[in-house]
Amino acid sequence: MFTLINITAKEKKKQLEKLRPLTILLVEDNLLNAKLVAVLFAQQGLSLQLAANGQEAIEKIRSTPVDLVLMDMEMPVMNGYQATSIIRQQLKSTIPIIALTAHSLPGEKEKCIAYGMTDYVVKPLDPDQLFTSMYQAVYSSKLPAAKKRAAALPATVAALENVCNMDYLLKVTRGNKKNINYIVSVFFKETQKELTCLNKAIEKTNYPLIGDISHKIKSAFFILGIKVLDQVFTELELLSSNPSTVEKIKQLNSRINIVFKQARAEMKAYQ
pLDDT in tens, 201-259: 999 999 889 988 988 888 899 899 998 888 888 888 888 876 667 888 888 888 898 88
Check residue 12 and give its pLDDT. 86
Distance CA 233, CA 239 (A): 10
Write down the pLDDT at residue 139: 85
- In this prediction, residue 45 carries a pLDDT of 93
Q: Which helix (H) or strand (E) holds 5?
A: strand 3-6
Does residue 152 contact residue 6 with C-beta atoms inside 8 Å? no
Per-residue pLDDT of the chain (271 residues; tens, 9 = 90+): 233 456 688 888 888 999 999 999 999 999 999 999 999 999 999 999 999 999 999 999 999 889 999 999 888 889 999 999 899 888 889 899 999 987 666 677 888 888 889 999 988 888 989 999 999 999 874 333 333 333 332 333 333 457 888 889 898 999 999 999 999 999 999 999 999 999 999 999 998 899 889 888 888 998 999 988 888 888 888 888 766 678 888 888 888 988 898 898 888 876 6
| Strand ranges inside 23-124, DSSP E | 24-27, 49-51, 68-72, 97-101, 119-122
3-state percent helix, strand, coil for the chain, nearest multiple of 5: 55, 10, 30
Query: What pLDDT does 106 receive?
Result: 67
> What integer pLDDT is reported at residue 184 of this predicted model?
93
Q: What is the pLDDT of residue 149?
A: 30
CA dist 175 to 124, 151, 180, 190, 223, Å? 17, 19, 7, 22, 14
Task: Please say whether the beta carbons of 218 and 185 come within 8 A.
Answer: no
Please report the pLDDT score of residue 92 as a whole number: 87
Strand 3-6, strand 147-150: pairing? antiparallel
Backbone angles phi, psi at 123, to 5 degrees: -85, 150
Q: Give the list of residues 6+ apart from residue 47 with CB closer than 8 angstroms, or none.
A: 20, 22, 23, 24, 41
Cα–Cα distance list, 180 to 109, 125, 184, 259, 261 (Å): 31, 16, 6, 20, 19
Q: How far apart (Å, rounded) are the C-alpha atoms in residues 178 and 146?
A: 33
